[in-house]
Structure 1
Amino acid sequence: MLIIEESEKKLSQDDFFEFESFFRRELPEEFKRFYLTNNGGYLPENFTGYPFLFNGFISIKYGKAPIEKTYCDLITGFPQLKNLIPFADDSGGNCFLLSLRDEDYGKIYIWLMDEKKLIFVSDSFKEFIDELSQVN
């Protein structure tokens, strides 16, 4: 089980519906379940072993830079990332992205800011969470 610390204010079903409406697409069930339980947050300080320098999950609606704001900022600078939701980041400022594109819906990528390169991470949000849960 994945332990998340310092989550933002808990989301209601209406909050999540509003979030989905922002992207005009239904989101994967695992993503929805995760965010209705943990609205962003960090892994425990002693977390180690994931191949990327994972920092934490970005919140929806609440906090200084929620997903909606992060997404708008990201696609302003990198329009090729449209329909890729930034849901987490690493300690180097790179974003983990959930695809809402038809051709790869549900797949997880990381956007390497310095290289301006999109790297495949996992086939689904569930697989991503399962991988995080197994390390440390």
Structure 2
Amino acid sequence: MKFEQKNLTQINPDDVIAFENRIDRDLPADYKSFLLLNNGGRTDLCVLTVEKFGTVIVNDFFGLEDGSSLDLDDNLETFRGRIPDGFLPFANDPGGNLFLLTLNGTAPGGVFFWDHENEPHTAPLHWNEFKNVYKIADSFQDFVQQLKPDN
């Protein structure tokens, strides 16, 4: 899979460790590898099927880049309280929806689709009370393997 960089710089393992320390969570190994190799960006493999929504497009993958709208830290802060605790927004679609990676032990592992159109007015207390979050892959690697070209 080729990634087009969106002005994101190359990172190293110390950058990933620093991010994990800031969020007080460990990233899955497959996602760490992705960050070290790509640090976000766009790819030509960007379409997947989400059961409830049909075909969706992955617009941008977020990375570690202060001051960028694609920064993982900034997106995590922007959506704090709007997404389940322990979930990391790692990509978006053109309509403002998010792709989330679970980072806590209380939710099933994997990747989830966050539908902003059905966002609750007040944040639920538990991850499974978010009625706008749908599991779409068992792991980050599984998510990536589902991506197809945008023809």
Equivalent in the alignment of 1:3: 2
Determine the C-alpha separation between the residues in 2 that align with 1:49 and 1:19.
28
Q: TM-score, normalised by structure 2?
A: 0.78
Determine the C-alpha separation between the residues in 2 that align with 1:60 and 1:129.
19
**Unaligned 5+ runs, structure 2:** 50-55, 120-131
Q: How does 1:1-136 map to 2 (within 5 A)?
A: 2-7=1-6, 8-44=8-44, 47=45, 49-51=47-49, 52-65=56-69, 66-76=71-81, 78=82, 80-104=83-107, 106-116=109-119, 117-132=132-147, 135-136=148-149
**Unaligned 5+ runs, structure 1:** none
Task: Give 1 or 2: higher helix fraction.
Answer: 1
**Number of residue pairs the alignment of both structures matches:** 129
Moved over 3 A (4+): none
Contact 2:47 2:58 in 1 (8 A): no
Determine the C-alpha separation between the residues in 2 that align with 1:30 and 1:105.
16
Q: TM-score, normalised by structure 1?
A: 0.86
Determine the C-alpha separation between the residues in 2 that align with 1:29 and 1:48.
22
| Higher alpha-carbon Rg | 2
Structure 1 residue 82 displacement after superposition: 1.7
RMSD of aligned residue pairs (Cα, Å): 1.7
Identity, in percent, stands at 28
Determine the C-alpha separation between the residues in 2 that align with 1:62 and 1:32.
18
